[in-house]
Structure 1
Amino acid sequence: MDTDRKTNATAANDRPAVPQTLGFLLLDNFTLISLSSAIEPLRMANQLAGRELYRWYTLSASGAPIRASDGLQVTPDASLKSAPALDWVIVCGGVAPRSSVTPEHVNWLQGQSRQLRRLGAICTGSWALARAGLLNHYECSVHWECMPSMKESFPDVALNSRLYSIDRDRFTASGGTAPLDMMLNLIGRDHGRELAAGISEMFIYERMRTEQDNQRVPLKHVLGTTQPKLLEIVSLMESNLEEPIELDELARYVSVSRRQLERLFQKYLHCTPSRYYLKLRLVRARQLLKQTSLSIIEVAAVCGFVSTPHFSKCYREYFGVPPRDERSGRSSGSGQNIERPPGSGFAGAPLSDDPVSGALLALASAQGEPTFASLSRLN
């Protein structure tokens, strides 16, 4: 019993002091869907916990209204100079990040880094952190459209094609709905998997994607228009996953030799045609395992594997887990209880000279919701 009490006390002490204060730096032409995907999980975390775990502010350089890529105009809560003390800073990018990032943004972000803030970015906001030199030797995710230019401009950034990356005190998401997955992961780390799962249920979000999930970068974007035959071959592969086409037949379809076919794949995709074809089938199998109720035998057949043992062997070699474990979602770690702070009401209202955070307004209006404090835990 004493051991259990000590364990619970340690877990409580490991949680961040609440509320955590986030600043969302909006760049010109930021994408509104990415901003919403990042903020909404915070709102729901507060609602389900029944207290203010997170507080957020939107920021722009001058505090003047700023326009999103869809034309909607947002009035920020504060300028960079009037921003309150922050625990996290998240840069929200969108269209043309190269021209949206100013020296004022860079200087402010570098100052936030010196104050040991947790720094993040969504969509193309990673460009701002990279330009400030704050992503060197960090794993980084960015929208696939921005990847080639970032690779050229910032060679010391460890770019990847994943939906999001969390590397020490840096976290970056590729855009669209990927920030939702990233924030669920971060909330789960801070306050337990039970809360993250509850938020997911409220948003009718069937599967929280992990750091291992990749963006589907269009091959045409990677290769450009210089290799039409290779693009045609890959298109044929993608259209014929259940009954794979022999490589000699693929070569005949596009009027090249088998040897030319293999050279094209080695030069531009850095693997053999058979390996690339296998990857397409296994990635499709992973989607079916996670998103459908098809049996493992059915998934194997739909993805062109002649036997379940062969499918399981290939799947384990590629993803590191057998299909059975992928389907069951086995992973380490367990949820933590969420504790209400002593006293009643919300934890800490903003100081009078600080801008008003929308978190408090949202939390106040949520008190009438049936889910309010549904995941709180009392001692």
Structure 2
Amino acid sequence: MEHRTHQKGVPKALVPDGAFSYPIAHCKATRWFGFLLLPEFTLLAFSSALDPLRIANQLAQKPLYGWWVLSETGAPVASSSGLDVSVHDSLEQLDKSLTLFVCSGNNGVRAATDNVVSAIRRHARFGGQVGGICTGASTLARAGLLKNKRFTLHWENQPGFVETFPDLIPRRSLVEEDGGLLTCSGGSAATEMMLRIIKDDYGEDFAIAVADMCLNALSGDPKRDQRSSIAKAIDSRNPKLLHILREMYANIEEPLLLEELAESAGVSRRHMERMFTKALGEAPASTYRKIKLDKARALLAETDLSVIAVAAATGFSSASILTRHYKARYGETPYGKSRKI
């Protein structure tokens, strides 16, 4: 990045002061990211991606990461919340050394001009890495960069995306990585995406320290679905499905049998299973188990209960059964450093 010259001046990698530090013994050369802001971009998603880089530098007290914020012309860009955000420079100064993230919002398919799409296509053609934040994947699709790739974008905009690009099917996950292509669905998923990058660069312990500063958690499953079971059930507008889910949430410590859940909604067990498969993509038993595991995770984080007590409070017949399912879902066991059995 030192060779870069332009009118507004090269931004320096920011290393802010902080009360807490996490020394890094062997630092790599500063890794630079570009953030291309498109009109009506989502401010939350952009800041959620940017701040983990700033925090990483603060903790290490070294310039681990740098960021270069761009717009098409170099002028400030209006976010979807109506706030104008200043940038470092115009897209003309794009350097192939940057990993370029396209940031957009609800108007994702139409947010970029043809000139912007061409510039992104050139960037990829000459070896630059690209990614999308929130609906940034829509611009990448217009640039022809998503063919045969795994990618994601915000669930709200996926139906319109599929109508526009019927041959491209987005994933429902929070974060996707396919080779050099990185995409996330926006919001806190942008933080998770950057935490994954930091973990790859400097290890899990450092990434966890950054996550703690973000008041976030380093997830063991970045591919988990963007929406909860309740949110997807509301979207299905199926009152019987919603009724069964409410019964699941209301009966965690002493779970109901599947036959009892079906009977409470006035349907057969087979019909209930078809409803869940159609709306949620999984069997009702799987959904019920996830609800119990989420409650167990909350109890483990927020209380000093033993694992046995948490298992009993969340409807698991033993700590070993809870542990097996917990590790399968979260990639770790429920036993913390000081957690009682």
Instruction: Give ranges in structure 2 of 5+ residues lacking alignment.
Output: 1-24
Equivalence map 1:148-187=2 (5 Å): 148-154=159-165, 157=168, 159-187=170-198
Residue 81 of structure 2 corresponds to residue 70 of structure 1? yes
Whole-angstrom CA distance in 1 between matches of 2:319 and 2:53: 42
Q: Give the structure 1 partner of residue 217 of structure 2.
A: 207
Q: 1:178 and 1:266, CA in 2 relative to 1: closer, same or farther beyond 3 A?
A: closer
- The Cα shift of 1:169 comes to 0.8
State the AA in 2 paired with 1:29: E
Q: Which moved more, 1:256-265 or 1:106-115?
A: 256-265
- The Cα shift of 1:115 comes to 1.7
Q: Give the structure 2 partner of residue 239 of structure 1.
A: 250
**Counterpart secondary structure, 2:35:** strand
% identical equivalent positions: 38
Q: 1:311 and 1:105, CA in 2 relative to 1: closer, same or farther beyond 3 A?
A: same
Contact 2:45-2:187 at 8 Å conserved across structures: yes
Q: Give the structure 2 partner of residue 80 of structure 1.
A: 91
Equivalence map 1:213-292=2 (5 Å): 213-217=224-228, 219-221=230-232, 224-289=235-300
- Within the candidate set 107, 110, 116, 1:96 is matched to 107
Whole-angstrom CA distance in 2 between matches of 1:166 and 1:139: 7
- The Cα shift of 1:88 comes to 0.9
Q: Give the structure 2 partner of residue 304 of structure 1.
A: 315
CA RMSD of aligned residues (A): 3.1
Q: For 1:237-257, what per-residue CA distance to the aligned partner results, in whole angstroms no more than 9, with x for missing partners?
A: 233222222333323332223
Contact 1:21-1:85 at 8 Å conserved across structures: no
Q: 1:24 and 1:275, CA in 2 relative to 1: closer, same or farther beyond 3 A?
A: closer
Contact 2:42-2:80 at 8 Å conserved across structures: yes
- The Cα shift of 1:154 comes to 4.1
**Counterpart secondary structure, 1:63:** coil
Q: 1:175 and 1:103, CA in 2 relative to 1: closer, same or farther beyond 3 A?
A: same
Q: 1:283 and 1:158, CA in 2 relative to 1: closer, same or farther beyond 3 A?
A: farther
Residue 47 of structure 2 corresponds to residue 20 of structure 1? no
State the AA in 2 paired with 1:160: R
Equivalence map 1:322-337=2 (5 Å): 323-324=333-334, 327=336
Residue 88 of structure 2 corresponds to residue 109 of structure 1? no
Whole-angstrom CA distance in 2 between matches of 1:123 and 1:233: 32
Q: 1:38 and 1:224, CA in 2 relative to 1: closer, same or farther beyond 3 A?
A: closer
Whole-angstrom CA distance in 1 between matches of 2:330 and 2:231: 29
Residue 153 of structure 2 corresponds to residue 142 of structure 1? yes
Contact 2:232-2:280 at 8 Å conserved across structures: no
Q: Give the structure 1 partner of residue 329 of structure 2.
A: 319
Q: 1:138 and 1:293, CA in 2 relative to 1: closer, same or farther beyond 3 A?
A: farther
Equivalenced residues, count = 312
Higher normalized contact order (CA 8 Å, seq sep 6+, divided by chain length)? 1
Contact 2:151-2:183 at 8 Å conserved across structures: yes
Whole-angstrom CA distance in 2 between matches of 1:70 and 1:132: 27
Q: 1:184 and 1:256, CA in 2 relative to 1: closer, same or farther beyond 3 A?
A: closer
Q: For 1:99-151, what per-residue CA distance to the aligned partner results, in whole angstroms no more than 9, with x for missing partners?
A: 31332222111111012112122122122222322223333232222233334
Q: For 1:147-181, what per-residue CA distance to the aligned partner results, in whole angstroms no more than 9, with x for missing partners?
A: 33334544655633333223321112221122222
Residue 47 of structure 2 corresponds to residue 36 of structure 1? yes
- The Cα shift of 1:270 comes to 4.2
Q: What TM-score do you get using the length of structure 1 for normalisation?
A: 0.71
Q: What TM-score do you get using the length of structure 2 for normalisation?
A: 0.78
Q: For 1:295-318, what per-residue CA distance to the aligned partner results, in whole angstroms no more than 9, with x for missing partners?
A: 2212212221122233334445x4
State the AA in 1 paired with 2:316: F
Pair member with larger Rg? 1
Instruction: Give ranges in structure 1 of 5+ residues lacking alignment.
Output: 1-10, 329-379
**Counterpart secondary structure, 1:141:** coil
Whole-angstrom CA distance in 2 between matches of 1:293 and 1:145: 38
Q: Give the structure 2 partner of residue 123 of structure 1.
A: 134
